[in-house]
């Protein structure tokens, strides 16, 4: 069971490191403070309130939980969140010897870096310590399950535990002498067996522990299921928890319940008629995070999804942009489930080498089941709001066809915007669209913010220059479908930068709302090189990475626009400048932990 005193969020193949001075006994490389200040001043793409590395490489958050599991991610223990994450201490590219770094926080916004938690030292992890998770056992004992790359290059699963449970920072970890505790089963290639997730326990006093590991057999992706009575000796169940032919390798699987009756989160081990179960899959072949909703039967150890996973554009996704290798955890003190995800770079390896860092964690999001029971909803954690600074408000503004107006009075390169649009006379203006077999991302690619439409495009132009030669467009278009109106949400990066060699792929998804009876709400977080957008109160989320050449720092601007023929009303717009989150080494300051 998950205990009240611990929350863990695991970031698996993640890596990041903050600027700091060398500390005696530390395994972090030295970076002088003055050098770091220069680094940050000269780096317009370095996010200010996202968890990121001022130097070196960061990727997947792999697990999160309260007193029950996490690996390379966050955990709550004795009043603090612990974030474990995969890190390359040698540079800003994915490395040959990945390690687990470790940071702590009171609020998941301000962080203090600790020494590395796991490094390659043994035959069972000699070539890398990859993703995993933490599960809190009875007695508040956190246990790490992680993937080690052994001396032969084979992916195996290992166990580690704290050396000193009385240490609230959990700074030192010891590897089990029983490692490896899981090796690739028959038919699973040695390089396609990884990322053990948060374990859950079957009901009853003698319930077994269950954990899934991502795997592949002949291009059939699967969540390989193991069971244990003591968390050390594990037996593979004959059948996977779930699999789907032709979907390729599944990385970083996540499995957790969500309440049918409330937006509150529930313990990972809850199994009863009041919940549905979510199985999340990180697709290695297309680098997207998909999920299915369904029913879990502990007696048969089987999971039956409401709709099969196919790996196509019709499948549900957490985020329709740059968001991968995500992991949730149950934050028991606040009765919520939190989602972390990795927003990887869209520039080149040469760019990453030049700037000296790569990878950002998306803002942690609360996640729950929508009242329809058909999809999940996400929203930035409430703790982020305390970074809000200068505030600007606009009420009851009419956006005429072809109009653009600037939102002034905030720092547009580091901002939080919430806006609600209201529309009338849709029947007369909406263009007809047959959505059968329509890929919304392709639809966004075929459109753009400057092309006139019927209802839309309308929305925001973020990180824009005054003349709009550079901008990232987050916008909506509304069509008339066979069963009512269809809302398309797009994030278009094609004019985000005058620089060449960047991935400027436009992203898009349908937003399940009724625009005749509901306002169209949008929240967008802008942090220099990352833009996260939440449509319809978090029903559709799109994250992007952008690298403007001109619209940087104080030169960035924010606009609202309408290029549809139908006028659009802004019911309300609230925009805030965002302050910078603090990150320190313990030798510099423990104040963030007070």
Question: What 3-state DSSP class applies to 444?
Answer: helix
Question: The dihedral of CA 467, 473, 475, 477: what is its sign?
Answer: positive
How many Å apart are CA 244 and CA 222, to the nearest integer? Answer: 7
Angle at 474 between CA 468 and CA 475, to 5 degrees: 105
How many Å apart are CA 530 and CA 546, to the nearest integer? Answer: 6
Three-state SS for 456-485 is: EEEEEEEEECCCCCCCEEEEEEEEEECCEE
Task: List residues with catalytic annotation.
Answer: 60
The 3-state DSSP composition of the chain as helix, strand, coil percent (nearest 5) reads: 5, 45, 50
Contact present, 567 and 401 (Cβ < 8 Å)? yes
Question: What 3-state DSSP class applies to 453?
Answer: strand
What count of residues does the chain have?
Answer: 594
Give 34's contacts (C-beta < 8 A, 6+ positions apart): none
How many Å apart are CA 280 and CA 213, to the nearest integer? Answer: 12
For 317-338, b where at least 16 C-beta lie within 10 A, e where not — what string? Answer: bbbbbbbbbbbbbbbbebebbb
Tokens standing for 79? Answer: 């009043």
């Amino acid at each position: 069971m998950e205990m009240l005193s611990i929350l863990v969020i695991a970031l698996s193949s993640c890596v990041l490191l903050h600027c700091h001075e060398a500390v005696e006994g530390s395994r972090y490389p030295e970076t002088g403070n003055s050098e770091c200040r220069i680094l940050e001043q000269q780096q317009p793409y370095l996010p200010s309130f996202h968890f990121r590395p001022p130097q070196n490489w960061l990727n997947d958050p792999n697990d999160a939980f309260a007193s029950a599991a996490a690996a390379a991610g966050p955990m709550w223990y004795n009043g603090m969140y612990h974030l474990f994450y995969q890190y390359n201490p040698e540079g800003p590219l994915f490395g040959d010897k990945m390690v687990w770094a470790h940071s702590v926080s009171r609020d998941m916004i301000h962080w203090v870096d600790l020494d590395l938690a796991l490094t390659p030292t043994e035959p069972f992890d000699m070539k890398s310590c990859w993703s995993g998770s933490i599960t809190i056992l009875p007695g508040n004992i956190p246990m790490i399950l992680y993937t080690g790359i052994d001396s032969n290059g084979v992916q195996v699963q290992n166990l580690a535990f704290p050396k000193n449970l009385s240490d609230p920072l959990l700074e030192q970890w010891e590897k089990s002498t029983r490692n490896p505790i899981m090796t690739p089963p028959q038919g699973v290639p040695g390089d396609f067996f990884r990322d053990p997730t948060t374990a859950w326990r079957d009901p009853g006093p003698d319930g077994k522990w269950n954990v899934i590991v991502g795997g592949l057999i002949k291009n059939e992706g699967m969540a390989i299921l193991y069971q244990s009575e003591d968390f050390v000796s594990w037996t593979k169940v004959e059948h996977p928890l779930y699999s789907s032919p032709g979907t390729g390798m599944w990385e970083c699987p996540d499995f957790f319940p969500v309440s049918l009756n409330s937006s509150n989160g529930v313990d990972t081990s809850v199994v009863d008629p009041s919940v549905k179960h979510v199985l999340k899959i990180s697709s290695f072949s297309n680098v997207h995070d998909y999920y299915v909703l369904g029913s879990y039967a502990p007696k048969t150890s089987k999971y039956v999804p409401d709709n099969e996973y196919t790996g196509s554009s019709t499948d549900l996704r957490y985020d329709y942009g740059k968001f991968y290798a995500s992991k949730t955890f149950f934050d028991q003190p606040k009765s919520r489930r939190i989602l972390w995800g990795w927003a990887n770079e869209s520039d080149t390896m040469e760019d990453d080498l030049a700037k000296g860092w790569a990878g950002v964690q998306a803002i942690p999001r609360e996640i729950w089941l929508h009242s329809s029971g058909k999809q999940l909803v996400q929203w930035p954690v409430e703790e982020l709001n305390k970074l809000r600074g200068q505030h600007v408000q606009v009420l009851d503004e009419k956006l005429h066809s072809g109009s653009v107006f600037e939102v002034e009075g905030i720092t547009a390169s580091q901002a939080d915007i919430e806006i609600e649009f209201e529309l009338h006379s849709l029947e007369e203006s909406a263009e007809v669209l047959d959505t059968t077999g329509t890929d919304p991302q392709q639809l966004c690619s075929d459109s753009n913010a400057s092309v006139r439409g019927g209802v839309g495009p309308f929305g925001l132009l973020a990180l824009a220059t005054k003349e709009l030669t550079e901008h990232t467009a987050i916008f909506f278009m509304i069509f008339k479908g066979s069963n009512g109106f269809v809302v398309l949400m797009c994030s278009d990066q094609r004019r985000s930068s005058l620089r060449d060699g960047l991935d400027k792929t436009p992203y898009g998804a349908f937003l399940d709302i009724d625009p005749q009876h509901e306002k169209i709400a949008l929240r967008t977080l802008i942090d220099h090189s990352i833009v996260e957008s939440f449509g319809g109160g978090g029903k559709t989320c799109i994250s992007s990475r952008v690298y403007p050449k001109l619209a940087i720092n104080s030169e960035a601007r924010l606009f609202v626009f309408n290029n549809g023929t139908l006028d659009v009303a802004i019911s309300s717009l609230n925009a805030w400048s965002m302050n910078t989150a603090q990150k320190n080494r313990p030798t510099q300051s423990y104040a963030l932990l007070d």
